[in-house]
Amino acid sequence: MKEIVITKANDGQKAEKFVRKYLSMAPLGFIYKAFRKKDIKVNGHWVTKEAVLHEGDTLRIYVTDQQLEDFQKPRPAEKKPFPYPIVYEDESVLIVDKPKGLLVYGDKTGVRETLGNAVLDYLYLKGEYEPATSSFVPSPAHRLDRNTSGLVVYGKTDAALKALTELFKDRSEISKYYLALVVGEMERDRGEINKPLRKDAFSGRVSVCPIEKGGKTALTKYKVVERFPGYTLLELELVTGRTHQIRVHLASIGHPIVGDEKYGDFADCRKVKSLCGLDNQFLHACKMEFGNVGGALKNLKGKGFETPLPENLRQVIDLLCPPARK
């Protein structure tokens, strides 16, 4: 028999979800049978898989030591300080500044150095995550491409992650902004790009596509921050959150992002790589603003967070546009 005291991180989870994560390698049939056989108790009472757990509850799973060993898969985590800038943290939420070149999640090669693993290592060090026993894994509510730097938000508790996920889905009480250097000098000081997008499942490429042919609504707002000879620095508001939305939208109006080898100006990419060493898109998630949020996100109500352009991107501007910055 294994006894677990439910922590704040797992408050509000259904018993089935908790047990499935706790016994992560167990067949679903085994878990459902355990509930049917009343091998799972909360506070001394048999419960169904729909029961909701609360902080301080005592959960008992009647399994053998060998079954525990067979069905548990400790998550890889080491107690380490967080190596990247922390922009904000409270008991429920962590906002960090991701450098370019770092994956948010692992990929098919099993890369260990990811932002997600760094977060788990940090929370393990603080005693806010226990890889061997915690059924909830702190996770990001959204993601950035490997080569896009900037703000990423993590839910440290199940309630916070659910609220953040819904917030990013609805988008009425959160605004996300990016900085991008684009090819060409934008004529208008501000505007919007409202073009539906479709992702090709086979190639992974995204393109402008009418809704009647499978496209999904996509809206990007922009304003000029600074103009340079041959280039423009833009602040962009991501109103919807489609894959590669900003990159495809800007390319579609003839102002692709500098360094974007997938959707950009390939001749300019070669020039920028040779002159500045930039081999990825000049895109930085610079700002995030929260509206009237509550519950697990109450501390974020009305707050905004910013992170400046990283040094490598500032150097690109200095090298590409020196006369305009003197």
Q: Which helix (H) or strand (E) holds 191?
A: strand 190-194
Strands 149-155, 197-199: pairing is unpaired
Q: Does domain 171-326 have CATH number 3.30.2350.10?
A: yes
CB-count burial class (<10 Å; 0-12, 13-18, 19+) for 261:
middle
Residues near 14 by beta carbon (within 8 Å), at least 6 away in sequence: 49, 50, 51, 52, 53
Which residues in the chain are classed under CATH 3.10.290.10? 2-71
pLDDT the model gives residue 224: 97
Q: Which of 65, 107, 145, 158 is catalytic?
A: 145
Report pTM: 0.78
Confidence of residue 178 (pLDDT cuts 50, 70, 90): very high
Report the distance separating Cα 221 and Cα 200, nearest Å: 24
Tokens (6 digits) for 246: 């900003």
- Kindly report, residue by residue over 206-229, the tens digit of the pLDDT: 999 999 999 999 999 999 999 999
- Kindly report, residue by residue over 179-209, the tens digit of the pLDDT: 999 999 999 999 999 999 998 877 889 999 9
Task: Return the amino acid letter for 300.
Answer: L
Q: Let me know if 70 is a catalytic residue.
A: no
Task: Name the 3-class secondary structure at 115.
Answer: helix
Architecture of domain 2-71: Roll (3.10)
Report the distance separating Cα 137 and Cα 135, nearest Å: 7
Whether the pLDDT of residue 108 is over 70: the answer is no
Report the distance separating Cα 221 and Cα 318, nearest Å: 26
Tokens (6 digits) for 297: 């996100």
Which residues in the chain are classed under CATH 3.30.2350.10? 76-170, 171-326
Q: Which helix (H) or strand (E) holds 237?
A: strand 231-238
Q: Does domain 76-170 have CATH number 3.40.50.1260?
A: no
